[in-house]
Amino acid sequence: MTTPTGTARPPRPDIQRAFAHLTPLAPQAGASPEAQLIAARAFVDRYGDVEPRGALRGVDVTPMNIGECQAEWLVPRNARKGDRLVYLHGGGWFAGGLESHRPLASVVAELTGCATLLVAYRLAPEAPFPAAVEDCVAALSWATDNGPEGRAPARSLLLAGDSAGANLAAAVCLLAIGAGRRTPDRLAMICAPLDGAPNPSRGTRPDIVAGNGELERAMAAYVQGQAPIDDPRISPLKADEGLLARFPPTLLQASGAEYLLWDSQAFAGRLIDAGVRTSLSVWPAMPHVWHAFLDLLPEARQALAEIAAFLTPGR
């Protein structure tokens, strides 16, 4: 970050605190694969919790199962009947779930006024590709015809996800379009990895959470040779233009400081070229998925408010 004169300006104390919180939580090199996986999952579960997490307020939580994965409806007091949002959590395809993302998804539910289905898809390495994609496809299909009040068609159907969940959201859209099923009315993707292969276009931004090494290890654990890395279900950036042209209006958010910024920029460019209404929103100096720092960074709720305004225009 620089001032107009070009002099380096230190980040705000709260931003420094967010990065300081993340640094010791990241799994350490040299540990066994089992220990690294345990540490990584614990890291994601408390990703944004600089302070102890408070009680959840403002939504009613209803646990459920969809096929082989757990899920829960987060229903805000201001929910509009028939308006549904499916939220796919991040965590590198091997971590995260209901516990890690309930606070973030609950804020999204309140801001949009939508019953929000938070999906705990199966995780790698125990369940490699395409298990997570299959679970997310099933969840979106289920939410098309079922809400927290029971079986009924969705009036509006929205889709959002962060990090690996944003990758899965793009893959779900591609598969729904290809199969002729109902696609989301709108899509929001937060800090998405959209190319599974190493790509020098990403540059060399240091990123302790989702840098080059972290992405390669996560992809290896997720894919396990089950498909080529350029399969669009893994690398949505490689999708056919004809499928991309049928995407819903899409918002991509990314930090200007993160390694994966290029992915959002490149995917937004492809959507724009395909004629899709696309918004790319870049937030300077933030950590990867800063939205999780709800009680520390004002930009967390501001970014979620931007998502809600995009997903529910004219509310």
The residue whose two tokens read 């599974």 is: 196
Choosing from 100, 106, 163, 235, which is the catalytic residue?
163
Active site residue 258: yes
Query: At CB < 8 A and 24+ separation, what contacts does 3-11 make?
Result: 11/285
* Displacement of CA 107 from its chain's centroid (Å): 14
Name which of 301, 294, 286, 305 is nearest 188 in CA terms: 305
Query: Could you tell me if residue 193 is left (phi over 0), alpha (psi between -120 and 50 degrees) or otherwise beta?
Result: beta
Active site residue 163: yes
The alpha carbon torsion through 140, 141, 146, 148 (nearest 10 deg) reads -20
How far CA 205 is from CA of 48, 165, 199, in Å, comes to 21, 22, 13
Choosing from 72, 214, 258, 299, which is the catalytic residue?
258
DSSP state of 185: S
Active site residue 21: no
Choosing from 134, 288, 291, 306, which is the catalytic residue?
288
Element (H, E) at 67: none
Question: Could you give the CA distance from residue 227 to residue 109 in angstroms, rounded to a whole number?
Answer: 35
Active site residues: 163, 258, 288
